[in-house]
Amino acid sequence: MAKPVFRFAPSPTGYLHIGNARTALWNALMARKSGGTFLLRFDDTDTERSRQEFADGILEDLAWLGIPPDRIERQSDRAARYAAVLEDFKARGLVYPAYETAEELDRKRKRQQARGLPPVYDRAALALTDADRAKLEAEGRQPHWRFRLSGQTVRWQDGVRGECHIETASLSDPILARAEGQVLYTFASVIDDADFGITHVLRGEDHVANTAVQIELFQALGAAGAWANEVDAGSREAHATTIRLPAFAHHNLIASATGEEMSKRTGALSLRSFRAEGVDPLAVAIVATLTGTSEAIRPLEGLDALADLLDLSKFSRALTKFDPAEITDLSVKLLHAKPFAALQESLAHLGISGPKAEAFWAAIHGNVSRLEEVREWWSLLIEPQNFAVAETDFLSECAGLLPAEPFGVETWSQWVGAIQAKTGRKGKALFMPLRLALTGREQGPELKAVLPLLGRAEALARLVPAQRL
Ligand code: GLU
């Protein structure tokens, strides 16, 4: 059997949001676990709204998530191929010219709706005679091209939804190409899926109705022997036989519980907004992938562990809400659980390295919610500091009781024991002046871990700043 080829096909008209990430991740990780290919296709036939800056941004976001594509294709590179298939369809009478303007179509739809009818194209263009067409063209109208649906029932076995069927009689004949020649998504998508040997079309359930149309288009392509025009050598083999429909699966959609609309246009809940907040991309990946499935959202080791959990049968069928705060919470949990070795490089980028780095991470990891916050603790605990101190008498007394080096995990309790015995202080009255003097903060890592990081000389200098050399 040919190797699986999955694809993610965004239009570069904005930055990816969590909903897009869900589709991208499912495709990339299903490809990964099946040893297949993850293809990124830019659906950029809408030249007015598509922008290079967004295409670049999408690639960056996928790399950030850890799922860079194995192969990239752009619909804008394939206009000649689409035009050739359109000509073939015209020659075989599979498409027909129609001349209605957008306003005329809109009026028709409104009239149908007013009469309680579904707003399906009435195929008026099919009744035009050669003379009618000549007249319309003489008036300056150029035709757009509609694909003639069979009007029959299209059935497929959906990977998520099971047995599906749609009467194409209930759908409008889709426009494949506009008057000015621009081809539309559904047509380009089917030609691409066929040419690139896509074996699995896994996308949001907002595309279920498209699937019936697309299956009829696949059949039209196959019957045309259109594979003979194959432009992609890599997938020639896959198309050696007549027609190979990809397996279709439509996942449920997710929505923000806070009512925020996910929008490529406004950038709401975009991957880059999470990136800017310093969120761990794995947290985004886990929430985007597992929300609305039977798997609980929880910390996982990495994308391979996430891929292991994926199975189309785990999707729930309903729209599922998620709270964006789940992503930040999970990101914090993941950070707290990270072993030093996994972070060594990122910490070094923040200037945190050397013999104290590992003990430092062990001491403060529970006190940060973003990696960047580590830098401040490094400066507080590792670099010399002159914090203002109150209770100088008490602190001088404590300084006099500080055990000798080497400092270890026991040093703190020995010291506290000595202070208690000598001063009679305990609880907050004892700890808070020490914490403030040693760390400059009311809250932070355990002082028993702080002492060995500071070392005796720095600890003394912080307790009695006047004596700092
Ligand atoms: N460009 C389409 C979209 O963004 C692709 C849909 C598909 O996967 O076929 O919705």
Nearest atom, ligand 1, residue 23 CA = 8
> Lowest mean pLDDT: which of 151-155, 258-262, 349-353?
258-262
Query: In the chain, pLDDT over 90 holds for what percent of residues?
Result: 83
Task: Tell me which fold the domain 392-468 belongs to.
Answer: Arc Repressor Mutant, subunit A (1.10.10)
Token pair, residue 162, equals 């099971």
Mutate to test the pocket of ligand 1, among 185, 192, 201, 217 (most ligand atoms within 8 A of CB): 185
Ligand 1 geometric centre to CA of 202 (Å): 10
Give residues with Cβ within 8 angstroms of 311, minimum separation 6.
none
CB 313 within 8 A of CB 336: no
What letter represents residue 312's amino acid?
L
Give the tens place of pLDDT for each residue, 393-428: 999 999 999 999 999 989 999 999 999 999 999 999
What band does 372 get if pLDDT is binned at 50, 70 and 90? confident
Ligand 1 geometric centre to CA of 44 (Å): 11
Query: In the chain, pLDDT over 70 holds for what percent of residues?
Result: 95
Give the tens place of pLDDT for each residue, 353-362: 999 999 999 9
Ligand 1 geometric centre to CA of 455 (Å): 59
Is residue 207 within 6 Å of ligand 1 at its C-beta? yes
Tell me whether strands 144-147 and 175-177 are parallel, antiparallel or unpaired: antiparallel
Measured CA distances, 410 to 333, 416, 450 (Å): 28, 10, 12
Domain ranges of the chain: 5-74+252-332, 78-251, 338-382, 392-468
Give the tens place of pLDDT for each residue, 28-72: 999 999 999 999 999 999 889 999 999 999 999 999 999 999 999
Q: Fold match between 5-74+252-332 and 78-251? A: yes
Is residue 10 within 6 Å of ligand 1 at its C-beta? yes
Task: Tell me which fold the domain 78-251 belongs to.
Answer: Rossmann fold (3.40.50)
Q: Whose CA is nearest to atom 6 of ligand 1?
A: 9
Helix axes 373-382, 447-463, angle to 10 degrees: 50
Give the tens place of pLDDT for each residue, 183-194: 999 999 999 999
Q: Is the per-residue pLDDT at 370 higher than 90?
A: no
Q: Is the per-residue pLDDT at 286 higher than 90?
A: yes
Mean pLDDT of the chain: 92
Ligand 1 geometric centre to CA of 391 (Å): 66
Superfamily of domain 5-74+252-332: HUPs (3.40.50.620)
